[in-house]
Amino acid sequence: MSAVSRALELRRLVDEHASLRMLRMTSLPVAAAVLAEHMSATTRMPVDDLHELVDADLDRLREHFPELALTGRAYCTEWRQAGLLRRRPAEAARGETYELTPAALSALRYLSDLQDPRTTVTESRLVSLAAQLHGLALETDPDTSRRIVALERQRDELEERIQRIRRGEEQTLDAERARERVDDILQQAQALPTDFARVRDRFEQLGHDLRARILDSDDAQRSVLDDIFHGVNLIADSEAGRTFQAFAALVLDPERSEAFADDIDQVLSRDFAEGLERSSRRELSGLLRQLKISSRDVHRALTDFARGLRRFVQSQEFQREREMRILLRQALAEAVPALGAVSPLHSMGELSLTGMTFSSISQPRVHDPSVAVASTPLAENAASPLDLAELRALVRESEIDFAELITDVNDSLAAAGAPVSVGEVLARHPATQGLASVVGLLTLAVGQGVVDRTASEHVGWSGQDGCQRTATVVRHEFHGRVR
């Protein structure tokens, strides 16, 4: 690879890789500190909880970083868009959770190594490297005689070492070298969560690729569909799937797990372990649990993607999506010839949507019963004696007093000895309820009197303001007693 091609490849890596994007962020100290404090490789935190924790941190950080003007929600959104956080649906409850991406884990690990550098070339690592190289050379040797000689030499060395231990000539590993090997083990273990996250992302990308292959397949090339219908798990049979299944079998095997746990307990019980830092002892004691959690998460992701892919095919959902892809491609193909006659900026008028209208889930508001609760206690008034005159006055203000009007009509008929009109009744008995009395007399005349539409008369009443008012109405007469 030439310098030019490598430089171009690195430039693309700098522009696209989320880890390098994080290292270029102006808010790198804050982002790295907050994410490292609250998140880890196996942490899945509810969205609202992380927002609250970041807001609490920002209240203290602004004393030293006054440029932090956004809220915790806004910074989490910015980190998610930068590829540092991934937002997923929660598995056990409603809502969503945040988790760190492999890029964020790599960047945080790099910063941790810069802040607390560890020796990278140690005696234990060189011994391990030499042993692995020797084993590789031995197992790949096609000459069986040389392999047998090498194995017999190893057997003799082991027997000689056993005899030295029985004679008490071989001492245990000194404390300094033992602590060095513990640090080497922990340093290798710290890379495992990031590797697990990468495997999980690989499974997810593989699932998307298989869905795309299904949508692009035709009746003549149905290998993917046939494999799925016959129960072949393409994700588990992939290179990443086989590698993970082998590691999961090693970690989740009960016998091997018990042996692994016993080895950790024995190492922590040795005298040299007292010289280890508290963080190293905690990492070593929780190493098996960390591996099991990471393995379980990836295994769950593998199972979910495989089941979702099979369900995608067996439910015939892929046929609808494939038909939609075909229609979209046809529309795009037909739009190409139209470019010569119609400008892309040509107005097409108002287009009505055929689907349903979507609205944000944040628009509905939960009913708060406390809003309807009175803010001040109700005053208790003492009961007063009933006043019939006041009660009658209240009734007269809301209703027409027909009993009084019937009495007035019958009294006017007895005094005149002949039919009387509404105006004549009002002249003899003024309207005590104003316009309401006039309306009441007209109502009685319509029901029990005679309406002469060929004649009219004037009626008058006094308003609440004391002013006299008159109106011209059709003549209404009473010819007999009303009731």
Could you report the per-residue pLDDT of 219-270, keeping only the tens digit for each? Answer: 544 565 565 555 445 556 656 556 666 666 666 677 777 777 788 888 888 8
Q: Is the pLDDT of residue 101 over 50?
A: yes
Any residues with CB less than 8 A from the CB of 72 and at least 6 apart, and which?
A: 50, 51, 52, 53, 54, 55, 57, 58
- Please give the backbone phi and psi of residue 71, each rounded to the nearest 5 degrees, phi first: -90, 170
At 231 the pLDDT is 45
Please, which pLDDT band fits residue 365 given cuts at 50, 70 and 90?
confident
Cα atoms found within 13 Å of the Cα of residue 259, Cβ hemisphere only: 7
User: In Å, what is the CA distance from 330 to each residue of 324, 339, 355, 463?
Assistant: 10, 15, 21, 80
Residues 366-375 pLDDT 10s: 777 777 776 6
CATH of domain 3-115: 1.10.10
Residue 45 CA to its chain's centroid (Å): 11
Domain boundaries, the chain: 3-115, 120-141+174-185, 191-335, 394-478
Tell me the pLDDT of the chain averaged across its residues: 78
Amino acid 456 reads: S
At 173 the pLDDT is 74
At 172 the pLDDT is 77
Residues 108-125 pLDDT 10s: 888 887 877 665 545 566
Percent of the chain with pLDDT over 70: 80
